[in-house]
């Protein structure tokens, strides 16, 4: 009975606990009884309920069937009990990626993000008192643009899946073509699903090009693009793709451009300090999930979608942009700009409906990239690649000898994430790994039953050689 829900509680606990307005349970409402009386007198109301006298009585509710409030001390205890029911990547060795990555985040990042000036601020619509957030976002835009090898980046979007929806719609607006969109089948299945919802709402059904093994089928994408011709708004390809594969997109970009359409690259930006960024390969829009740049795993959110492009596309960009300008005295300062693209000005003709995005996570990414610097980001990438390569080779040699649970380790170029094929369902292999305290990867059968013997494994710089050996030992016995 330790972990009963509060809905169970309400049947077992007396519900008539008297509530005292002065009780510490209301501590974030600071009014004393005396102040409340004085204020009601100024307003000309007899009671707080009087303030709602003009509402139709049918709309008013009695006490809600929820449990009574808790003081901070009790709340803390209740939350601790809930927390104890989780086993996080802090106490399991995390080889799980698939769009969210367990990287080392310098504690300075959380320390800085805890500044009340930053996290309790609103969107910087008043530049005179928001230069802090505005300059940080301008710097973030610079870092993302340069990391992706693009001219410009925006202030952030919700997360990777919706960032891709925005990128596709941006391409539609730029090309004026709203009929055809081609997606790489090696994109994250949840991103594909999100795009289907997103552009399906506009009556557009994306064409999905099946991967070739675990690699994006770049030739088939180019062929489809040619076939779609002048109806095509864009092609979106993974880099790295969902299976971790990295391939040069330069040729595909040329082919897509021949049709007048745009090429969108989708992927985690973490490797871009180390490998050729999409913007150096002729890609027009680069987007994806920025979580790997210093944002904790947080069970899927909040994250930060990023989007970057060539400067020709900037007026089609969704969301907020911070620009540099001068104040009346000629001092350099920053402000939200090109707001005429946005919903609060343009309403139904806006480039997107997005308003609140994830500025705080963008600032986290800023602090992460600032702390690491070019050297740190390259070193983290280098370690991730080396360690992933160690595990991959060990699993490969395992598959060629005793085998254990591993049937084969397919060869294709990757950064820090790769697929292994298992003898029994990947779900069972993961159970065996979990029993040893290891989050062993992602069972691809979750997305496609035909892939139930495929396991997507990620090794970040954070994994130790001991953890890698424990992984190998666990699968050789499984």
Partner 1 sequence: MELIFEKNRKGSPNPYFPKEDPAGSRKAGDVLPKGMLRTEPDDPNKRLALPEMSELEVVRHVLGLCRRQVGIDSTFYPLGSCTMKYNPKINEAVSRWPQFAAMHPLQPDSTAQGTLQVLLELEQGLCHVTGMDAVTLNPMAGAHGEWTGILIIKAYHDSRGDKKRRKILVPTAAHGTNPASAAMCGYEVVAIPGTEDGLVDLKGLEAALGDDVAALMLTNPNTLGLFETDILKIQKMVHDAGGQLYYDGANLNAILGVARPGDMGFDVVHMNLHKTFSTPHGGGGPGAGPVGVKKHLAEFLPVPFVKKTGDRYEMSSDRPKTIGRVGAFYGNSNVYVRAYAYFRTYGRDGLPEVGKHAVLNAAYVLAKLQKTYTRPLKNPCMHEFILQPTKEMLAKGVRTLHLAKRLIDYGYHPPTIYFPLVVNEAMMIEPTETESKATLDQFVVAMEKIAKEALETPELVINAPHSAVVGKVDETKAAKDLDLRFCACE
- Contacts with partner 1 in 206-225 (CB under 8 A)? none
Angle at 106 between CA 83 and CA 139, to 5 degrees: 115
Task: In angstroms, give the least distance from the CB of 21 to partner 1.
Answer: 7
Interactions with partner 1, residue window 100-119 (CB under 8 A): 100, 102, 104, 106, 108, 110-112, 114-119
Interactions with partner 1, residue window 224-243 (CB under 8 A): none
445 binds partner 1 (CB under 8 A): no
Rule CB under 8 A: choose which of 33, 200, 254, 397 binds partner 1. Answer: 200
Give CA–CA dist 261/253, Å, rounded: 9
Give the count of beta carbons closer than 10 Å to the beta carbon of residue 224: 19
Q: Which is nearer to partner 1, 262 or 442 (CB)?
A: 442
Give CA–CA dist 90/431, Å, rounded: 18
Q: Are 233 and 177 in contact (CB under 8 A)?
A: yes
Residues β-bridged to residue 376: none
Closest by CA position to 387, among listed 469, 302, 449: 469
How far is the CA of 223 from the CAs of 209, 217, 227, in angstroms? 10, 10, 6
Q: Which is nearer to partner 1, 256 or 361 (CB)?
A: 361
Interactions with partner 1, residue window 35-74 (CB under 8 A): 35-36, 38-40, 42-45, 48-49, 51-56, 58-61, 63-70, 72
| HSE (side-chain half, CA atoms, 13 Å) at 252 | 30
Number of residues that bind partner 1 (CB under 8 A): 209
Task: In angstroms, give the least distance from the CB of 240 to partner 1.
Answer: 11
Structure tokens at 145: 């643009």
Q: Which is nearer to partner 1, 403 or 437 (CB)?
A: 437
Query: 3-state DSSP call for residue 27?
Result: coil
Main-chain phi, psi angles of 296, to 5 degrees: -60, 165
Q: Which is nearer to partner 1, 43 or 210 (CB)?
A: 43
Give CA–CA dist 478/423, Å, rounded: 10
Interactions with partner 1, residue window 127-156 (CB under 8 A): 127-133, 135-136, 138-139, 141-143, 145-147, 149-153, 155-156
Angular region, 12: left φ>0, alpha ψ -120 to 50, beta rest: alpha
Task: In angstroms, give the least distance from the CB of 402 to partner 1.
Answer: 19
DSSP class of residue 342?
S
Rule CB under 8 A: choose which of 373, 400, 424, 435 binds partner 1. Answer: 373
Question: Is there a cis peptide before residue 302, judged by omega within 30 degrees of 0?
Answer: yes
353 binds partner 1 (CB under 8 A): yes
Task: In angstroms, give the least distance from the CB of 170 to partner 1.
Answer: 13
Task: In angstroms, give the least distance from the CB of 378 to partner 1.
Answer: 8
361 binds partner 1 (CB under 8 A): yes
Of 94-102, 207-215, 230-238, 251-259: span binding partner 1 (CB under 8 A): 94-102
Give CA–CA dist 461/56, Å, rounded: 60
Task: In angstroms, give the least distance from the CB of 86 to partner 1.
Answer: 4
Q: Which is nearer to partner 1, 12 or 347 (CB)?
A: 347
Run of H or E including 360: helix 359-400
Task: In angstroms, give the least distance from the CB of 227 to partner 1.
Answer: 26
Q: Which is nearer to partner 1, 7 or 260 (CB)?
A: 7
Give CA–CA dist 302/362, Å, rounded: 10
Main-chain phi, psi angles of 175, to 5 degrees: -85, -15
Main-chain phi, psi angles of 176, to 5 degrees: 70, 15
Interactions with partner 1, residue window 263-302 (CB under 8 A): 272-277, 279-280, 289, 296-302
Task: In angstroms, give the least distance from the CB of 336 to partner 1.
Answer: 8
Structure tokens at 342: 């946005």
Rule CB under 8 A: choose which of 77, 84, 219, 223 binds partner 1. Answer: 84
Residues β-bridged to residue 238: 266
Of 205-213, 222-230, 367-375, 401-409: span binding partner 1 (CB under 8 A): 367-375
How far is the CA of 68 from the CAs of 19, 26, 291, in angstroms? 9, 12, 36
Task: In angstroms, give the least distance from the CB of 92 to partner 1.
Answer: 7
Closest by CA position to 244, among listed 473, 455, 8: 455
Rule CB under 8 A: choose which of 216, 259, 357, 460 binds partner 1. Answer: 357
470 binds partner 1 (CB under 8 A): no
Interactions with partner 1, residue window 377-406 (CB under 8 A): 377, 379-383, 385-387, 389-390
Q: Are 235 and 225 in contact (CB under 8 A)?
A: yes
Q: Which is nearer to partner 1, 131 or 476 (CB)?
A: 131
Task: In angstroms, give the least distance from the CB of 219 to partner 1.
Answer: 17
Kindly write out the interface string for residues 317-336 of this chain, putting x where it contacts partner 1 by CB under 8 A and - elsewhere: ---xxxxxxxxxx-x-x-x-
């Amino acid at each position: 009975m330790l972990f009963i829900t509060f809905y169970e509680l309400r049947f077992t606990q007396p519900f008539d606990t008297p509530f005292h307005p002065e009780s510490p349970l209301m501590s974030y409402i600071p009014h004393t009884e005396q102040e409340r009386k004085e204020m009601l007198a100024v307003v000309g109301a007899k009671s707080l309920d009087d303030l709602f006298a003009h509402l139709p009585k049918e709309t008013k509710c009695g006490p809600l069937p929820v449990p009574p409030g808790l003081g901070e001390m009790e709340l803390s205890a209740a939350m601790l009990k809930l927390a104890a029911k989780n086993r996080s990547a802090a106490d399991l060795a995390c080889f799980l990626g698939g769009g969210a990555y367990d990287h080392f985040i310098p504690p300075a990042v959380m320390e800085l993000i805890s500044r009340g000036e930053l996290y309790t601020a609103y969107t910087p619509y008043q530049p005179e008192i928001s230069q802090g957030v505005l300059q940080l976002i301008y710097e973030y835009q610079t870092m993302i643009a340069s990391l992706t090898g693009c001219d410009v980046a925006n202030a952030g979007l919700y997360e990777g899946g919706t960032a891709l929806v925005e990128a596709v719609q941006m391409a539609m607006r730029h090309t004026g073509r709203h009929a055809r969109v081609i997606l790489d089948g090696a994109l994250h299945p949840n991103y594909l699903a999100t795009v289907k919802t997103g552009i399906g709402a506009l009556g557009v059904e994306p064409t999905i090009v099946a991967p070739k093994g675990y690699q994006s089928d770049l030739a088939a994408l180019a062929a489809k693009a040619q076939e779609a011709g002048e109806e095509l708004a864009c092609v979106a390809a993974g880099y790295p793709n969902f299976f971790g594969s990295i391939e040069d997109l330069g040729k595909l970009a040329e082919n897509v451009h021949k049709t007048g359409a745009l090429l969108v690259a989708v992927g985690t930006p973490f490797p871009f300090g180390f490998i050729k960024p999409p913007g150096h390969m002729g890609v027009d829009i680069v987007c994806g999930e920025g979580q790997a740049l210093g944002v904790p795993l947080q069970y899927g959110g909040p994250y930060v979608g990023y989007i970057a492009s060539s400067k020709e596309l900037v007026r089609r960009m969704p969301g907020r942009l911070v620009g540099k300008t001068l104040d009346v005295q000629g001092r350099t300062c920053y402000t939200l700009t090109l707001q005429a693209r946005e919903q609060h000005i343009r309403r139904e003709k806006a480039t997107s409906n997005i308003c609140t995005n994830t500025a705080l996570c963008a600032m986290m990414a800023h602090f992460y990239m600032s702390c690491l610097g070019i050297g740190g980001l390259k070193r983290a990438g280098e370690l991730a690649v080396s360690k992933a390569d160690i595990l991959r080779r060990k699993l490969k040699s395992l598959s060629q000898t005793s085998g254990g649970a591993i049937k084969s380790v397919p060869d294709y170029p990757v950064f820090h994430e790769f697929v292994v094929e298992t003898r029994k369902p990947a779900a069972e292999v993961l159970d065996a790994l979990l029993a040893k305290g290891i989050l062993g990867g992602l069972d691809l059968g979750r997305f496609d039953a035909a892939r139930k013997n495929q396991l997507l494994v990620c090794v970040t710089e954070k994994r130790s050689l001991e953890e890698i050996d424990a992984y190998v030992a666990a699968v050789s016995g499984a």
